[in-house]
Structure 1
Amino acid sequence: MTEMNVHADLCVIPLGVGVSVSRYVAECQRVLQEAGLKHQMHAYGTNIEGEWDAVMAAIKRCHECVHGLGAPRISTSLRLGTRTDRQQSLQDKVSSVESLVNGK
């Protein structure tokens, strides 16, 4: 297998920066945009899809940038999913469940 795609659910939490973290979240969103990765922010993190190495490099870059903004510590939650039997996008996963909810 030469390329492995991954779905990631990423939540980067800067510590020691006060209560509001929106500027740090915004910086991570910029990193993902610059990396050209498909991503969707949600209330408690960001879903990302792409090639394994590109996703992992972007996550590392998020940490570098958040530290660069002055966060002395970062706690990150990361959930990963891969599959080899077929291609599936994040939207495919959501659409599959929505079709069942809507009785289709």
Structure 2
Amino acid sequence: MIVAFSVAPTETPGSKAEMADAVAEAVRVVRASGLPNETNAMFTLIEGEWDEVMDVVKRATEAVVAVSPRVGLVLKADIRPGYTGQLTAKVDAVNRRLAAAEQKENGL
């Protein structure tokens, strides 16, 4: 399964912690997990089995809770048993189609 999630503090009363500091701690948890992952401007994606992915999401959320009494979590999952490597395979499939369309447009 692939999970895309975003976790961030909604308030940090009495703390000098910035949102980026809290998010960095969550990303540190994800990267330390050893599971395939990537982070972009809006989400962190992680791929693995249900229990291991959800455990990482929980621990990443707890890292943010440590600096904020209120935390927002957005989670989207692609559950596809029997498939691995989808974190890159989906992007590769789109890139192949774009390249083929470009070649067709250029008469190659």
Return the TM-score normalized by structure 2: 0.81
Preserved contact between residue 36 and residue 87 of structure 2 (Cα < 8 Å): no
Identity %: 32
Task: State the Cα RMSD in Å.
Answer: 2.0
- Letter in structure 1 aligned against 2:4: D
How many residue pairs end up in the alignment? 98
- Letter in structure 2 aligned against 1:95: D
1:9-31 alpha-carbon deviations (Å, 9 max, x no partner) = 1111211138x411111101110
Matches of residues 28-67 of structure 1 in structure 2 within 5 Å? 28-67=26-65
Determine the structure 2 residue equivalent to 1:81: 78
1:52-76 alpha-carbon deviations (Å, 9 max, x no partner) = 11110111111211111x2111111
Q: Name the one with the larger strand percent.
A: 1
Shift of 1:99: 0.7
Relative distance call for 1:78 and 1:31 in structure 2 (3 A) is same
Determine the structure 1 residue equivalent to 2:19: 21
